[in-house]
Amino acid sequence: MLGTTSRTEQARLTAIYEISARLGTTLDLTKLLNLVMDSVIELTNAERGFVMLYNPETARLEAVGARNFDKETITENSGEISYGVVDRAITTGEAVLTSNAQEDNRFSTFQSVVGYQLRSIMCAPLRARGRVIGATYVDNRFLSSVFSQDDLDLLVTFANQAAIAIENARLFTQTDQALQRRVEELSVFQQIDRQLHHSLDLNRILSLALNWAINLTSAENGAIGLFTKPEATEINLLARKGDQSDVDFTIQSNHPILAQVVYGGNTSRSRHQSAVNDKTVTQLAVPIHDNDQVIGVILLDSPVENAFAGDDTAFVERLADRAAVAIANARLYEQLQHAKQQQSDFIAVVTHELRSPMTTILGYTDLVATESVGDLNPQQKEVLQVVINNTRQMQLLIRDLADINRLEMKQLQLDLQTFALRPLLKQVKASLSDRLDSKQQTLSLMLEKELPPVYADRDRTIQILTNLVTNAHKYTQEHGQIGIRAKVENGFMNIDIIDNGIGISQEDQAQLFSQFFRVESQVVRDEKGWGLGLSIVKMLVEAQGGTISFRSQLNKGSVFTFTLPLASAT
């Protein structure tokens, strides 16, 4: 008998050691609970074993592990248990043992004991961090006196170990779930950022932000409002979704719902009559900040009494921060567009007002220069020619300013058509012959035998070529060589303007197409110009679907290359 007791005790100690060792190696709660219950059932000759944990959301005990003598998982309903016994263990915090519940005065009147004919029962509370989190329960419905005090001590030992392991597994699960939620949230915010920053249209940004706020929370209706001015006393609801979303609406900033948000800069969550309809709702109001200033508010309504708790509020607050950046960008863009429009309007007025008097001045000076109104001496002719030259230079400046303005505002109308390039190049060469002869320069056309027609604006192509060849003429020495080469490459007509002039330094090449940029060189400064020509050329080429580039070496020359679409490709 003593040997049997020793062997039983040794088996129990061995089981406790093995389970203790294994409990520290797994965070799989189901696997862990099955391991505990199988050991308890085997060592106590129990018929069944259950592990129950308290669920704070339902305020009930729930069986999370249930095993039988054959080490099979069973359902809670596959055999009824006495929740009265379990309740006593949890309430008192003490383990319970009854050899025969049918005859035990503590339990014999329990409906579950009588109805299910329960006999041998043991139950021990699960304690973790100073509180009861559940219970372990084993029984034998058919035999009395199955369990001893030693069995109860064993169950308590297992219960204490299991409670710690269960709590660790819970914490791991909660941490893992929190991490997963954070990863998912970051993924969502990546999508939100892409959408918000893809657009510079304020109304679209507000609509996108509102959709995200409603779709990812328990909100039913919502709105986003902005102050129109920093000192404004009312908020305009610029984006709305839900009840009466098609009605224009403003809210005074001292409205009870908004006062805490607008003047305190804090999120508000309360249950009252909605700010945008007559229903009683839970409303979340989240401020949108630009630095330390409240520029707007996100308003969300839900008929659910405890809506927007915890994660929902935090999500909307982070959404508001992202929306604030997109809103600031959109407003800056609006200001920029407004400034550009004002500049465009100013240039349009100035060029229009200057064009008429310049034409008049040039007309009269040409009349005087031709001596139609009287003879001129040589000195007078020379002075008059300076006036004519400068007036024509001013006309070119007015034309360039008007072109740039129309190109930037995308108001330039192009007359795209199919035409042959060879005769156009000959026309450009002939029109510039006097200018080239003034420096005894040679302009050569290097054209492929068969040049297919291009699809572009003929007059603007002449303007591009004239500008580029004129630049080559200005910055190429006397007796210099200038060439125009045209050939088909990669489905486009490639046109090169080649010169052996002064070239462009590496430092100046990066700014060459910038408006009003001129190289800081005396040779360049000696030539008249405004630094607008190449900028206009680039915009004209790109407006026709082409590209422009160049390569240059200082004191060796430059090659400017632009492309035009082939007619066959359109």
CATH 3.30.450.40 fits 199-322, yes or no: yes
E strand intervals along 512-556: 548-553
pLDDT given at position 1: 44
CA-CA-CA-CA torsion sign (254, 256, 259, 261): negative
Instruction: Count the alpha carbons within 13 Å of 565 in the hemisphere toward its beta carbon.
Output: 15
pLDDT given at position 456: 96
145: left (phi over 0), alpha (psi -120 to 50) or beta: left
CA-CA-CA-CA torsion sign (363, 368, 371, 377): negative
> Across all residues in the chain, what is the average pLDDT?
83
DSSP lists the bridge partners of residue 443 as 482
Identify which has the larger pLDDT, 544 or 261: 544
Nearest Cα residue to 355 out of 323, 292, 399, 313: 399
Please, what is the Cα angle at 136 between 132 and 142, to 5 degrees? Answer: 145
Q: Determine the Cα–Cα distance for residues 470 and 185; give it in Å rounded to an integer.
A: 60
pLDDT given at position 149: 92
User: Does the fold of domain 416-569 match that of domain 199-322?
Assistant: no
Is the pLDDT assigned to residue 526 strictly greater than 80?
Answer: no
167-192 residues labelled b (16+ CB within 10 A) or e (exposed): bbbeeeeeeeeeeeeeeeeeeebeeb
With contact defined as beta carbons under 8 Å apart, do 558 and 570 qualify? no
Nearest Cα residue to 462 out of 451, 470, 472: 470
Is the pLDDT assigned to residue 217 strictly greater than 90?
Answer: no
Predicted TM-score (pTM) above 0.75: no
E strand intervals along 5-46: none
DSSP lists the bridge partners of residue 125 as 135
Is the pLDDT assigned to residue 385 strictly greater than 80?
Answer: yes
Averaged pLDDT, 210-239:
82
pLDDT given at position 343: 73
Residue bearing tokens 């040779």: 523
Q: What is the pLDDT of residues 449-505, one digit of tens each?
A: 889 999 999 999 999 999 999 999 999 999 999 999 999 998 899 999 999 999 988
270: helix, strand or coil: strand
Is the pLDDT assigned to residue 310 strictly greater than 80?
Answer: no
The CATH classification of domain 2-174, taken from the options 3.30.420.60, 3.40.50.720, 3.30.420.40, 3.30.450.40 = 3.30.450.40
Torsion of CA 503, 504, 506, 512, to 10 degrees: -150
Torsion of CA 22, 24, 29, 32, to 10 degrees: 20
Specify the range with the lowest mean pLDDT, choosing from 138-152, 276-290, 430-444, 478-492: 276-290
Q: Determine the Cα–Cα distance for residues 293 and 132; give it in Å rounded to an integer.
A: 49
With contact defined as beta carbons under 8 Å apart, do 158 and 41 qualify? no
Neighbour tally for 68: CB within 10 Å = 17
Q: Determine the Cα–Cα distance for residues 425 and 193; give it in Å rounded to an integer.
A: 51
Q: What is the pLDDT of residues 53-68, one digit of tens each?
A: 888 777 788 888 788 8
With contact defined as beta carbons under 8 Å apart, do 253 and 262 qualify? yes
DSSP lists the bridge partners of residue 126 as 134
pLDDT given at position 293: 86
Averaged pLDDT, 82-88:
90
Neighbour tally for 502: CB within 10 Å = 21
Which phi and psi angles does 528 have, rounded to 5°?
Answer: -70, 145
List the chain domain ranges.
2-174, 199-322, 338-408, 416-569
Instruction: Count the alpha carbons within 13 Å of 99 in the hemisphere toward its beta carbon.
Output: 4
Is the pLDDT assigned to residue 539 strictly greater than 80?
Answer: yes
Q: What is the pLDDT of residues 98-153, one digit of tens each?
A: 999 999 999 999 988 888 889 999 999 998 888 899 999 999 988 999 999 988 98
Q: Determine the Cα–Cα distance for residues 533 and 390; give it in Å rounded to an integer.
A: 17
The CATH number of 416-569 is 3.30.565.10
21: helix, strand or coil: helix
74: helix, strand or coil: coil
107-120 residues labelled b (16+ CB within 10 A) or e (exposed): beebebbeebebbb
With contact defined as beta carbons under 8 Å apart, do 388 and 394 qualify? no
Nearest Cα residue to 325 out of 183, 192, 182: 192
pLDDT given at position 2: 45
Please, which pLDDT band fits residue 5 given cuts at 50, 70 and 90? low
